[in-house]
Amino acid sequence: MHTLRARTLSFDHETGTPVHHEKGAVVVDTDGKIAWAGSAEDLPDNFSSLPGYDYGKKLLMPGFVDPHLHFPQYRMLAVYGKDLLDWLNRYTFVEEQRYGDSRVSEIAARLFLDELIRNGTTACMAFSTVHPEALEALFSEAVRRKMAVISGLTLMDRNAPEALRNDLATIHETSIDLIEKYHGKERLGYAISPRFAITASEALLEVCQSLATRFPGLPIQTHLSENLAEIALTEKLFPWARDYLAVYERYDLVRSNSLFAHGIHLSESESRRLASSDAAIVHCPTSNNFLGSGLFPWLKRSTSDHPIRIGLGSDIGGGTSYSMLATMRDAYVVSQLVGKRIDPSALFRTATRENAELIGRLDRIGSLEAGKFADMILLDPQATPLMAERSFLSESLEDLLFALIILGDDRAVAETFIAGQPVKTALQ
Ligand SMILES: [Zn+2]
């Protein structure tokens, strides 16, 4: 066992209220779990003589959780596409075809998880591809690192190249085999993962429905209402549907453990129905800005009479950064542009506690509390010469957090801990 001392910040498991200690301490047990967390002066006697480290004024927090990104797009950032559908067809579908080769997938899985660790993301829910080899490579690498990773076979069978289409005759059975092999193994989870309505036939959506019914505890991840051309094409492909969400509703894919990326252009009716189902939207602002998809009205959706649960994701590689700090920065900028400003504390809470809850893991991660995994990050508010100068102006925690959001990136993550082990400095 050992003790880490630092300034600590977490958001309460039950209430979400900030828990901040100028001089805090976290005791990590030999299983990589938190044995105790609180103010250093309250450290119980039986822990006070443990070996450990004192990180002074650096900020020790729960690790970031990324509830929406794409593993096979790990290197496909910054490609010059016009908009979502153009970007998918010209770049994404080409790159994803490489993942039928397990050597490609194995190398990609290492680099993908390295980059998450470098940026302080300790758990994620990620899309993979249609290839079982790719999913198995990602899961194997996550197990090797003891990381909490949720993913699933990407389901698609039309409006995509032949090599990226599931075989309808076998996909149901293949999915069940993978679910039984991986869901709940070590820290892995399986998510039912139809890419989006446009790339799914009604027969494939029936397969999703069957899987969702058979495995009610499995999360469902997909995309919704990201781009106006995407919405128009969806309405054309499903003429019986009253709107985009109705396609997923028809196949029982809208439920409390469903995560819909984007949801930018929702109608009021769709917003109300999402809220009543308790499904969540994952706001991915760097991706929305990069692809020119639109401005997501976060606070309008989360504080209306019908509030929707909202998470914050990088959406790599439509997103432009693995950094959740950079993701928070774009979320803040978007909130300014839509006229309802979000505060720094809410952004940090979303990137840790709320995202952990969305991916169904709040019982194990997302806050610094006894019994949870010691998945943590150490943030350095003085990581660069400019940040050091800026930090001298900070007189409150809220201001310190805001400067980290606006000026920070992977350089501000001094260390990443997975199950108590320092893994970022070990990469270098
Ligand atoms: Zn996405």
Cα–ligand 1 centroid distance for 403 (angstroms): 28
Average pLDDT of the residues in 3-30: 98
Cα 48 from Cα 403, distance rounded (Å): 33
pLDDT value of residue 82: 87
CATH domain 64-358 topology: TIM Barrel (3.20.20)
pLDDT higher than 70, residue 341: yes
pLDDT for 130 equals: 97
Out of 52-56, 85-89, 232-236, 368-372, least confident range: 85-89
Task: For residues 139-162, give the mean pLDDT.
Answer: 97
Contacts of 19 (CB under 8 A, 6+ apart): 8, 9, 10, 11, 12, 367, 368
Predicted local confidence at residue 428, as pLDDT: 67
Distance 194 CA to ligand 1 centre (A): 11
Q: How close is the Cα of 247 to the center of ligand 1, in Å?
A: 18
Q: Average pLDDT in the 291-314 region?
A: 96
358 CA → ligand 1 middle, Å = 16
36 alpha carbon – ligand 1 mean position (Å): 37
Q: Calculate how far, in angstroms, residue 261's C-alpha sits from the geometric centre of ligand 1.
A: 6
| C-alpha distances in Å from residue 82, one per residue of 89, 93, 232 | 11, 15, 17
Tell how far the Cα of 318 is from the centroid of ligand 1, in angstroms: 7
Distance in Å, CA 70 to ligand 1 centroid: 6
Beta bridge partners of 155: 194
Residue-wise pLDDT tens digits, 212-256: 999 999 999 999 999 999 999 999 999 999 999 999 999 999 999
- 45 CA → ligand 1 middle, Å: 48
How many A from CA of 72 to the centre of ligand 1? 11
Rounded CA gap, 210 and 194, in Å? 13
Claim: this prediction has a pTM higher than 0.95: yes
Domains in the chain: boundaries: 2-63+366-427, 64-358
- CA nearest 204: which of 248, 236, 161, 244? 248
Ligand 1 centroid vs 227 CA: distance in angstroms? 12
* Cα–Cα distance, 282 to 312 (Å, whole number): 5
User: What separation in Å is there between the alpha carbon of 306 and the centre of ligand 1?
Assistant: 25
Q: What is the distance in A from the centroid of ligand 1 to the CA of 76?
A: 13
Distance from the CA of 217 to the center of ligand 1, in angstroms? 22
Interval between CA 81 and ligand 1 midpoint (Å): 15
Q: How far is the CA of 313 from the centre of ligand 1 (A)?
A: 9
Query: What is the per-residue pLDDT for 135?
Result: 98
**Separation of 364 CA from ligand 1 center, angstroms?**
25
Q: Are 23 and 54 in contact (CB under 8 A)?
A: no
CA distances from 246 to 150, 189, 202, 231, 249 (A): 26, 27, 13, 12, 5
pLDDT tens digits, one per residue of 98-148: 999 999 999 999 999 999 999 999 999 999 999 999 999 999 999 999 999
Question: 182: CA distance to ligand 1 center in Å?
Answer: 22
Alpha helix stretches (DSSP H) within 119-277: 132-144, 171-182, 202-214, 228-237, 244-250, 268-277
Is 90 exceeded by the pLDDT of residue 362?
Answer: yes
* CA–CA separation, 40 and 141 (whole Å): 36
Q: How confident is the model over 169-195, as pLDDT tens digits?
A: 999 999 999 999 999 999 999 999 999
Contact 190, 217 (CB under 8 A): no
CATH architecture of 2-63+366-427: Roll (2.30)
Distance 383 CA to ligand 1 centre (A): 30
C-alpha 321 – ligand 1 centre gap (Å): 13
Q: Are 242 and 270 in contact (CB under 8 A)?
A: no
Distance 314 CA to ligand 1 centre (A): 9
Q: What is the Å distance from ligand 1's center to 7 Cα?
A: 34
Mean pLDDT, range 145-165, rounded to an integer: 97
